[in-house]
Amino acid sequence: MIVYQGNKSEFTEDVISNRIDEVIYEAFKKNLGRSTSQSEIESWKNSMMYMNNIILDKDIPSDAMISIEFQIPLTSKRVDFIITGKDHDKKENVIVIELKQWQNANLSSKDAIVSTCFQGREVETSHPSYQAWSYVQLLKGFNQTVQEEDINLTPCAYLHNYTSDGVIDNEFYSDYIEKAPLFLKSDAIKLRNFIKKYIKYGDDSNILYRIDNGKLKPSKQLADALSSMLKGNEEFTLIDDQKLVYETAKQLARKSSTKNKNVLIIEGGPGTGKSVVAINLLVDLTKIGLVAQYVTKNAAPRAVYASRLTGTIKKTEFNNLFRSSGGFIDAENGAFDTLIVDEAHRLNLKSGLYGNLGHNQVLEIMHASKFSIFFVDDHQQIHLKDIGEVSKIKQWAKQEGAEVNFLKLESQFRCNGSNGYLAWLDNLLGIRNTANQTLSKDDYDFKVFDDPNQLRNEIEEKNKLNNKSRMVAGYCWDWISKKNPIAKDVIIPEYDFEMTWNLTKDGSNWIIAENSIDEIGCIHTCQGLELDYVGVIIGLDLKYENGEIITDVFERSKMDQSIRGIKKMIKEQPEEALALARRLILNTYRVLMTRGMKGCYVYFCDEALRRYVKSIIGSRVGYISDRKLNIAADSEAHFNRKND
């Protein structure tokens, strides 16, 4: 998405008239549907004056196009400044410029990482040249138009306030500076000449518009790329916070020992690249001779990865790399150099088929490793037994005597890269209060259906493209077909809608099985995995009553193990138990509604909720407060009716 665009003459006029920041801000609000910070607005005002000085050269054509804050398709990443035009040979060129107002920085021992002052404190971040180069790699990786139409993309970085000091331009960063030249305060003429090398003629063919609206490559999913990654091939370019997490983890892995244990907690929401970073770490740490394993409680991701690697590595090799979270009960202290725990929010106290083994999976993993990495999203806890939230992992790390490190992943690479959709969804569900309360149709392909059959038909059509679309539902229907495969489970009689829960024959491979489009999956078969399009049926455990979204845990199936024991908890501590049940229900639907990289289609069984959500798409959504007492009262009434 292009926030601001104009030719060189129009851009210059906006700068000289001292309104460039206002023009960009208005375009930002219109195109992205949200506001931004005053510091970012000030950065536009300052940096655009410097860029205007650079391009004020008669040899840079007046009809070269200037684009500002271009959002890379399918991601949340935005490029600061782009110039498009044609070179001496009339070849189409795109110059990607990363702008920084930095005045100083400090060296880091981590590849492509520097530290600089941000909002009054020193933070680590990607080197500007790496940042510019990675954005170009991202564009090339997603965009078919760039390759098919032979468009040349050239990255560089311009730090217009920075005087050369041997730090930002240190030899340590030379590989990336060579890929994306670095221009500092005294390099204005050099940058101008660099631009003139690629832009001789103007842009009369809407180059960036064609890229933005052109063909996109088929979405690359982690499971599909796994075999290549294990062979050492770079399938995903790590961006910004992903790169920082990756390099920090590698550094900690090298220095950790049995007597000097480290724990790295990485917090990140859906689609922020947790699993991609985790697999990259597994490959690279193994490559340098460390004993590392990828750990998940969820069986589904491991089963899908094993299926994708069939014929590539032996089963014993797979088992040496990928492990269940319950496999460290009797492990020796520091037996592994690094344990990489994905979906750590799903860890349990006990292990084993009957939940009677071990004492604490978090502590067992920390004990078994010199260095343990936990990828966590507290809002993806969906089971009463889930214990792996950030606060508890920190607490247990200190108990184990390990040094705790904490980082966040925020870059969005799912849901069309739309942070707006995730913010809107969290606000709708009352999971967190967000500044972005509007869902634009441009944010993400989100649709509400009045008929579940229409929803199923749409998902079936999407699935014909590449077998990467599925139906899922909240666990509000009994799993009758577990013992009777021809029975129907998810039944909505008023629409003659019937589907069978995912059959045991596919097990954890349901999400990739050839004919599983005919079945409907649940949270346990899709958490930790991704689809292109997901169709979600939201059961009567989520309703709209008296102007509020409420939860009703008693509409869940009695076969749902994730809430087993909730009735006893409600009798003993009703308010706390119902608040916990509410959180698990909301988290469940948040997970289901964020599995789709390209789209999420929804049917709400509660008609009032369906009407409400349809009414607020594209308009402001009021934040739904915690309302524990109201929810407790509503649910207690249901509890009393169903258990009299």
Architecture of the domain spanning 222-409 = 3-Layer(aba) Sandwich (3.40)
For residues 415 and 443, what is the distance between their CA atoms, to the nearest angstrom? 8
3 state DSSP class of 566: helix
For residues 430 and 622, what is the distance between their CA atoms, to the nearest angstrom? 9
Please report which helix (H) or strand (E) contains residue 10, including its range: helix 8-16
Query: Which tokens belong to 368?
Result: 């078994």
Residue type, 90: K
Residue type, 327: G
CA 279 to chain centroid, in Å, comes to 15
On the 0-12 / 13-18 / 19+ scale of CB atoms within 10 A, 128 is: buried
Strand order in the sheet with 152-159: 4-7, 65-71, 78-86, 92-100, 152-159, 182-183
Under-50 pLDDT residues of the chain: 619-644
pLDDT of amino acid 291: 96
For residues 435 and 34, what is the distance between their CA atoms, to the nearest angstrom? 8
Q: Where in the chain is the domain with CATH 3.40.50.300?
A: 222-409
For residues 492 and 172, what is the distance between their CA atoms, to the nearest angstrom? 62
Q: What are phi and psi of 471, to 5 degrees?
A: -100, 140
What is the pTM for the complete model shown? 0.88
3 state DSSP class of 122: strand
pLDDT of amino acid 633: 37
What is the residue whose two structure tokens read 């536009």? 44
Torsion of CA 57, 58, 60, 64, to 10 degrees: 110
For residues 259 and 251, what is the distance between their CA atoms, to the nearest angstrom? 17
Query: Which tokens belong to 587?
Result: 């988290």
| Nearest alpha carbon to residue 446 among 600, 609, 591, 594 | 600
Tell me the residue ranges of DSSP E strands in 444-530.
445-448, 469-473, 490-492, 497-501, 519-521
Radius of gyration of the chain (CA): 26
On the 0-12 / 13-18 / 19+ scale of CB atoms within 10 A, 329 is: middle
For residues 515 and 281, what is the distance between their CA atoms, to the nearest angstrom? 33
What angle, rounded to 10 degrees, do the helices at 8-16 and 38-55 form?
120
What is the chain's percent helix, strand, coil content, to nearest 5?
Answer: 40, 20, 35
On the 0-12 / 13-18 / 19+ scale of CB atoms within 10 A, 162 is: buried
Residue type, 621: V
Terminus-to-terminus CA distance in the chain, angstroms? 57
| Nearest alpha carbon to residue 535 among 596, 612, 615 | 596
544, 631 Cβ separation under 8 angstroms = no
Query: Which tokens belong to 46?
Result: 């300052």
pLDDT of amino acid 638: 43
The number of residues making up the chain comes to 644
3 state DSSP class of 185: helix
For residues 405 and 525, what is the distance between their CA atoms, to the nearest angstrom? 31
Q: What are phi and psi of 349, to 5 degrees?
A: -70, -55
- Per DSSP, helices labelled H in 218-324 are 222-230, 241-255, 274-287, 299-308, 315-321
